[in-house]
Chain A
Amino acid sequence: MTRFLLKRLGLALITLFLLSVIVFAVSTVLPGNVGRAVLGPFATQESVDALNEQLGTNRSVFVQYVEWAGGLLHGDLGTSLTKQLPARDLLGPALSNSFKLAFVAFLICVPLSIVGGVISGLRYGRPTDKAITIAGISFAAMPEFVTGILLILVFSIWLGWLPVTAQWEEGANVLTQVKYLLLPAMTLTLVLFGYIARITRAGMIEALDSDYARTAYLKGLPSSVVVRRHLLRNALLPTIAVVAVQIGYLVGGLVVVEVLFNYQGIGLLIYEAARQKDLPLLTAGVLVVGITYLVVTLIADILYALLNPRIRFGTAE
């Protein structure tokens, strides 16, 4: 178990390092001339040089990386060009906003999709299963902005129940905040439902088909006990991994939803930084998204290991 954890942690650190290299390479090396990329083709050579001087992007790539990565280790994520503020001060609140939205979406989505997947698996091949599966696939397939727009049309414009944006007044209470968050959260829920339900369903079908399910059933246990005590435990294990990946997505892939609902999260921040060619802020934002994903999946892996006796007591990985 300790071995497993150390190994997993080591891998996560290596991945993190490579991620930083990739992000750095794309944002600094790919443009060729960063100053020119930021200022555009019509800026004078002097201003481009001045910016490169200011950003330090006229030095060797290696030196730049070492300095940048060194900054990262001290919590320095760079400085936003357009806002002239430390990226960290901008990303912090944005990230917490995104977590807030992700959390609400999560609360709606995870129980719903697990229940859907379990029912689907238990009714394998029957109309209920078909209906849940097809609905799941359809919603998962639709880009968030399509789902979001359809929801806005129905719930905000035609029915007038919910606000069009997720921009609440300063100091609004939790209930009001939730009301504003409901539409974007529902959009995310619809997209995620299909993924999580599918894995749960597959795990359920596999468990139903297993020899140990037969053993439990032939012991004379009622079906409800067989499902609850014997099947769910094993069927839901793979779901954890998927849910983790989806949280990563929830935090990072919010770009479209946050843009659509004009929600001040990290997605919108990345979007705006990109629009304004604020490369330092964009780079920092992308890196934060990646780190969030790595941390969440690491936690999920550990959770998975804790719940899985095969790993907890050693033989398998």
Chain B
Amino acid sequence: MSVVVPPTPAAPLPARSEARTARSERLRLLLRSPTVVIGVIVMGFWLFCAIFTDLVTPHDPIFDNQFTPSESPTWSHPFGTDTNGRDIFSRVLAGSRNVLLIAPAATLLGTVLGTMLGLVTGYLRGVVDDVVSRLVDAVLSLPLIVTAILIVTAVGKSGTWVVVLIIGLIFTPVVSRTVRAAVLSETELDYVQAARLRGERAPYIMFSEILPNVLSPVVVEFTVRLGYAIFAVASLTFIGFGVAPPSPDWAAQINQYWTLIDPYWWMTLFPALAIASLVVAVNLVADGVREVYER
């Protein structure tokens, strides 16, 4: 027997749709945080550049030898030009495309698969859970980059969808672990017991009873993973296991020019700052989301 102390508020809340209220309340809280607003603006900027590349780039980002090669920043080329005579400013503006395609796709894949896996293992427990948990442990004992290098080498090729698949699959156990923990604490609750006692089947309990209650950690996990996916995609590209140049990509540009950092620092600095701005923006938003959802 455990004796529960009376909970505090006794008065009923006003009759509004609770879901809507909670959602708008969260949005209000999110937008009240200056760091979240800045993050959203920066993310929006890069998304805009990725979609409307042709509109925002002053020069063609791909064709070689348009200008004097290796020119340091000037008014006409604020970020300078690269060794192939291209405008770095245009290439930086065009460089968000890859990462903004791969990272969200990989995160979505990892989140969806991870949520399913977490629901199943957390609800069914038993042997399935034990086996999967040990597998998850094993996969997580390797850093993402190392696993990705091994897989790319074994498969023998890389590319957009290979990277999406690799990162998505590596995220799956991470997400599943978070979701599983949330599911475990949900299954302790009596409503799950009540559902079982009226003869509900496992799929109904998992997806209709439990899933709606673990969406908060899923949302948090998605935003946090998104930041990490950008991190991973950029790192893989930088060491040459991601997407190959000449398609403009920040990390690929750095991969190409960082050995020339002395004296051609601008070829590396500006793409680096661009990556920094995007990952920081995503993580500021993720942190805001976490604060609001985990209260």
Contacts and interface: CB of A to CB of B under 8 A. Distances in A.
Main SS of the interface on chain A?
A: helix
Given A142-B276, A270-B146, A286-B146, A248 B156 contact: no
Interface in A13-53: 14-16, 18-19, 21-23, 26-27, 30-31, 37
Contacts of A255: 143, 145-146, 149, 239
B238 A256 contact: yes
A252 interface: yes
Contacts of B143: 248-249, 252-253, 255, 289, 293
Nearest to B155: A30
B261 A143 contact: no
Contacts of B241: 274
B227 A141 contact: yes
B238 A143 contact: yes
Interface string A275-295: 101010011001001100110
Given A142-B275, A143-B234, A149-B254, A137 B283 contact: yes
A141 B280 contact: yes
Nearest to B240: A275
Contacts of B134: 11, 14-15, 18
Interface string A140-177: 11111110011011001100000010000000000000
A31 B155 contact: yes
A217 interface: no
Interface stretch (B56-64, B88-96, B212-220, B265-273): B265-273
Contacts of B185: none
A27 B154 contact: yes
B142 A289 contact: yes
A134 interface: yes
B279 A277 contact: no
B135 interface: yes
B284 interface: yes
A187 B138 CA distance: 27
Contact of B239 (A156, A271, A277, A279): A271
A36 B139 CA distance: 26
Interface string B140-169: 011111110111111110000000000000
28 contacts: A14-B134, A16-B138, A18-B138, A19-B138, A22-B135, A23-B150, A27-B154, A30-B154, A30-B155, A137-B283, A137-B284, A138-B276, A138-B284, A141-B279, A142-B279, A143-B275, A146-B272, A146-B279, A149-B268, A150-B272, A255-B143, A256-B235, A256-B239, A271-B239, A274-B152, A279-B153, A286-B147, A286-B150
Interface of A: 11, 14-16, 18-19, 21-23, 26-27, 30-31, 37, 133-134, 137-138, 140-146, 149-150, 152-153, 156-157, 164, 248-249, 252-253, 255-256, 259-260, 270-271, 274-275, 277, 279, 282-283, 286, 289-290, 293-294, 297
